[in-house]
């Protein structure tokens, strides 16, 4: 893996920009939408610990989630976190985590975020990825377009070896992005998310530079429909 600084990425319809404080409140508002945060932001461990709640018990998870959302939906509580995040990016203090704010091309309209970060207890060159898009802009292929730019940069410029990630089973648009880009299906895992029926499961995938680039070669030859 190369010691590469994050840079802006550009696609046909999007600009993936290095985050600034200017768009953070808008990104926070997007995350406050339950349709976004319920499958993107697991309840932090400190909520369980502080309130003596058990992550394995559904009722405790519901209580913890309610407490977390009360914090998430309060900008005055969240604002210092975003300010610290931007300062960290400016100072290169978290250089192993790559984060981009996603804008519609050549505009100041921010529609989401994509990230690529180290996985717990894994070498630096094995990563996880995540993204969210404002529900008002979903259904146009923006997440797929941003994710492909991220994969290309991380595999071919940064030089990571592998990406392991997952998406909730019913969220076919997200795990479909992995499948579309040559990632291999591994199996299902239990997620820290839940609904009224219990804990949710996710479809897990892994991708490598070779798998990703081979799929792109097939696309360029017209063997796979985009």
Identify whether the C-beta of residue 27 lies closer than 8 Å to the C-beta of residue 113: yes
Check residue 95 and give its pLDDT.
58
Q: Render pLDDT for 153-202 as a digit per residue (tens, 0 to 9).
A: 999 999 999 999 999 999 999 999 999 999 999 999 999 999 988 999 99
| Integer angstrom CA distances of residue 186 from 77, 99, 164 | 38, 26, 9
Task: For residues 128 and 205, give the distance between their C-alpha atoms in angstroms, rounded to a whole number.
Answer: 10
CA angle 13/15/20 to nearest 5° reads 150
Burial class (CB in 10 A: 0-12, 13-18, 19+), 146: buried
Question: Which stretch of 9-13, 145-149, 165-169, 217-221 has the lowest confidence by average pLDDT?
Answer: 217-221
- Domain positions in the chain: 161-226
Distances (CA, A) of 29 to 26, 33, 153, 163: 5, 7, 28, 28
Closest CA to 114 of 157, 79, 147: 147
Distance CA 82, CA 50 (A): 22
Q: What is the model's pLDDT at position 124?
A: 75
Q: What percentage of the chain exceeds 90 in pLDDT? A: 81
Per-residue pLDDT at 226: 45
Residues 11/114, Cβ–Cβ less than 8 Å: no
Average pLDDT over residues 115-122: 84
**pLDDT-derived band at 152, boundaries 50, 70, 90:** very high
Supply the pTM of this predicted model.
0.92
Tokens representing 127 are 């990563």
Class of domain 161-226: alpha beta
Task: Of 220, 146, 151, give the one whose Cα is nearest residue 181.
Answer: 151
Tokens of 105: 């091309």
Contact yes or no for 80/98 (Cβ under 8 A): no
161: DSSP letter: -
């Amino acid at each position: 893996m190369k010691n590469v600084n994050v840079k802006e990425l550009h696609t046909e319809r999007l600009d993936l920009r290095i985050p600034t404080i200017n768009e953070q409140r808008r990104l926070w508002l997007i995350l406050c939408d339950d349709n976004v945060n319920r499958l993107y932001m697991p309840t932090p461990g400190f909520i369980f610990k502080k309130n003596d709640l058990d992550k394995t018990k559904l009722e405790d998870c519901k209580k913890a989630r309610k407490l977390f959302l009360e914090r998430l939906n309060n900008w005055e509580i969240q604002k210092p976190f975003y300010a610290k995040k931007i300062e960290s990016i400016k100072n290169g203090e978290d250089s192993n985590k790559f984060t981009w704010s996603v804008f519609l091309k050549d505009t100041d309209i921010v529609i989401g975020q994509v990230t690529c970060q180290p996985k717990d207890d894994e070498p630096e060159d094995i990563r996880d990825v995540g993204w969210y898009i404002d529900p008002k802009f979903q259904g146009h292929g923006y997440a797929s377009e941003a994710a492909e730019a991220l994969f290309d940069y991380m595999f071919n410029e940064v030089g990571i070896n592998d990406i392991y990630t997952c998406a909730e089973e019913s969220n076919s648009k997200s795990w479909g992005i992995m499948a579309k880009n040559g990632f291999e299906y591994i199996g299902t895992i239990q997620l820290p998310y839940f609904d009224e029926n219990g804990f949710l499961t996710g479809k897990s995938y892994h991708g490598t530079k070779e798998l990703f680039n081979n799929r792109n070669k097939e696309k360029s030859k017209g063997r796979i429909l985009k």
